[in-house]
Amino acid sequence: MSEQRAQRHQHFETLAIHAGQEPDEATGAVVPPIYQVSTYKQDGVGGLRGGYEYSRSANPTRTALEENLAALDGGRRGLAFASGLAAEDCLLRTLLTPGDHVVIPDDAYGGTFRLFAKVAEGWGVQWSVADTSDPESVRAALRPRTKAIWVETPSNPLLGITDIAALAAVAREAGARLVVDNTFASPYLQQPLALGADVVVYSTTKYMGGHSDVVGGALVVADDALGEELAYHQNAMGAVAGPFDAWLVMRGIKTLAIRMDRHSANAARVAELLSAHPKVTQVYYPGLPQHPGHEIAAKQMRSFGGMVSFRVAGGEQAAVDVCDRAKLFILGESLGGVESLIEHPGRMTHASTAGSALEVPADLVRLSVGIESIDDLLADLTQALG
């Protein structure tokens, strides 16, 4: 059986550890070495050994990560970037030209919104906002030049759920590509390409890296031609993952499955505690049966992930006070690391959405629930809520 065919029969946990990670030819090292190198000796002009010529175009450590990423999402090609936003920028400049239109979600990472509203718009890309949890809202937002429908599910920070298969059908009818930012779920919990999406986007800074020690991004695509086009742009624009960063993300991915199981289990307990707390007015967690997207999430996700948001009685200051009182939950931006984080999206990660259709409630607190002891996490939240 060929290497690729053998891999198709392997389960996620096995692929996470082995796909693209064959022992090093030269030494037998069992993990890909960090090829901290910019250029490669040629055997005569154009005589490349193993195809490597210059590390912006390709680097063996990055190749190992990119093969791993493609395998984990069941895609044809994976591409690793210097950040999630670098991946998004490469994708939007590959898919869209001036005058083209993209539908974006009414809840999304603030930086993604900023990229469309403040950067791409300046280059003539049109965008409009839809509630992507409702396929009819997306249909109504389509225009003749809609080339992409952009979805986050679960979304940041309100944990909205979009039915990926339903939107894939809408995209197909419209001749547009469906892009799914799968950062909150990770490929272990959700497989957008298998549900009909064309491109999966990641901030690998988050669950894939998993240890708050690297910034990175990735794209995984279902078809070879788009993969080629993106690889061309990745090299032409140059925001690639460096070898050490690629290696850190790869190391994180090896434990992704067990970390996500624990993140999900801890987050479910946190959501339960918050739901019963008198100072909490609303909890956003797709694992709660009363969450409007619960059934769809249960259908398309393995479990519900580690992100929980909630609103605090008493308004913005009360929410800020909860963030300030937390001790074990570290006050900081980002998410997806082993350590628990707390933040105030309105003043921190989502400040750029103020005044837009994506503005977040002022009394909102977002938690990235880590993999510490659940008892210690619940005790800290209880004291922080006062």
141 close to 127: Cβ distance less than 8 angstroms: no
Of 217, 242, 252, 370, the one binding ligand PLP by CB under 6 A:
217
Stretch that binds ligand PLP, among 19-27, 77-85, 294-302, 318-326 (CB under 6 A): 77-85
Of 64, 72, 214, 215, the one binding ligand PLP by CB under 6 A:
215
* Residue 212 near ligand PLP by CB under 6 A: no
Which of 215/384 has CB closer to ligand PLP? Answer: 215
Query: Is 52 an active-site residue?
Result: no
Kindly give the pairing relationship between strand 146-152 and strand 177-181.
parallel
Residue 310: partners with Cβ closer than 8 Å, 6 or more residues away: 274, 280, 281, 282, 283, 284, 364, 365, 367
Residue nearest to ligand PLP (CB): 84
Of 156, 190, 212, 353, the one binding ligand PLP by CB under 6 A:
156
Which of 142/148 has CB closer to ligand PLP? Answer: 148
Q: Which two tokens stand for residue 286?
A: 């797709």
Active-site hit among 106, 107, 163, 181:
181
Stretch that binds ligand PLP, among 6-14, 104-112, 245-253, 308-316 (CB under 6 A): 104-112
* Residue 205 near ligand PLP by CB under 6 A: yes
Minimum CB distance to ligand PLP, residue 270 (Å): 19
* Omega of the bond leading into 154 within 30 degrees of 0 (cis): yes
Stretch that binds ligand PLP, among 27-35, 82-90, 282-290, 293-301 (CB under 6 A): 82-90
207 close to 259: Cβ distance less than 8 angstroms: yes
User: SS3 of 331, please?
Assistant: strand
* Residue 271 near ligand PLP by CB under 6 A: no
Minimum CB distance to ligand PLP, residue 152 (Å): 5
How many residues are given for the chain? 386
Cα–Cα distances in Å, from 84 out to 9, 176, 300?
Answer: 29, 22, 23
* Residue 191 near ligand PLP by CB under 6 A: no
Which of 66, 88, 307 has the alpha carbon at shortest distance from 189? 307
Burial of 286 (0-12, 13-18, 19+ CB in 10 A): buried
Element counts in the chain: helices (H) and strands (E): 14, 12
Query: Is 109 an active-site residue?
Result: yes
Query: Is 181 an active-site residue?
Result: yes
Of 12, 35, 52, 109, the one binding ligand PLP by CB under 6 A:
109
Q: Which amino acid is at 97?
A: T
* Omega of the bond leading into 144 within 30 degrees of 0 (cis): no
Of 181, 198, 245, 343, the one binding ligand PLP by CB under 6 A:
181
**Known catalytic residues?**
56, 109, 181, 206
The residues that touch ligand PLP, with contacts defined as CB under 6 A, are 83-85, 109, 111-112, 152, 156, 181, 183, 203, 205, 215, 217
